[in-house]
Structure 1
């Protein structure tokens, strides 16, 4: 592969990474919005917003559906962080009840 071909391939792959990053941002924002809607509905109904069984179910499914190459333990950690940060958002908004 020539230097020009290498540079072109590197640029192409970087653009693909940038696109995936954008998709992740959009998906995380959509997930947070859905969780906010769910929290609002639960709060209005007087139902506890945090459900540890549901969270464990989500984390189990994440590991089961992980195609790799990210290790299962790492994927679980990533999703634990996502769940915790979205919960932090709910706490800041005053919608979180244990």
Structure 2
């Protein structure tokens, strides 16, 4: 059971790192949204969204995770769009 406990501790640490990274990403998204509003630009940019999805799947270098990463990042970006629109 010690191995399971160690793995769960590592998952907990990964979750902490992920939440920190998401908060940082959303802070930056809010700044992007502010700049877009100042310039009268649309919040949603489908070309940029596809670039981000391609980038993150390539960064992982794990084809077996591609669909999962695309789905997770799509949700991250959907939430970011909502944040940009709401503020």
Q: Do both share a fold (TM > 0.5)?
A: yes
Structure with the larger RCO, 1 or 2 (CA within 8 Å, 6+ apart): 2
The structure in which a higher percent of residues are helix is 2
Query: After superposition, what is the alpha-carbon deviation per residue over 1:33-73, rounded to whole angstroms, capped at 9, x for unaligned?
Result: 00100110121122222211111111111222223375212
Say which one has the larger Rg: 1
Count of residue correspondences: 87
C-alpha distance in 2 between matches for 1:28 and 1:41: 20
Residue aligned with 2:62, SS: coil
Partner of 1:37: 31
- Unmatched segments (≥5 aa) in structure 2: none
Partner of 1:20: 14
Assess if the C-alpha contact under 8 Å between 2:43 and 2:84 holds in 1. no
Partner of 1:3: none
Residue aligned with 1:71, SS: helix
1:47 aligns with 2:41: yes
C-alpha distance in 1 between matches for 2:63 and 2:18: 17
Assess if the C-alpha contact under 8 Å between 2:43 and 2:81 holds in 1. no
Partner of 1:77: 71
TM normalised by structure 1 equals: 0.78
RMSD over equivalenced CA pairs, Å: 1.6
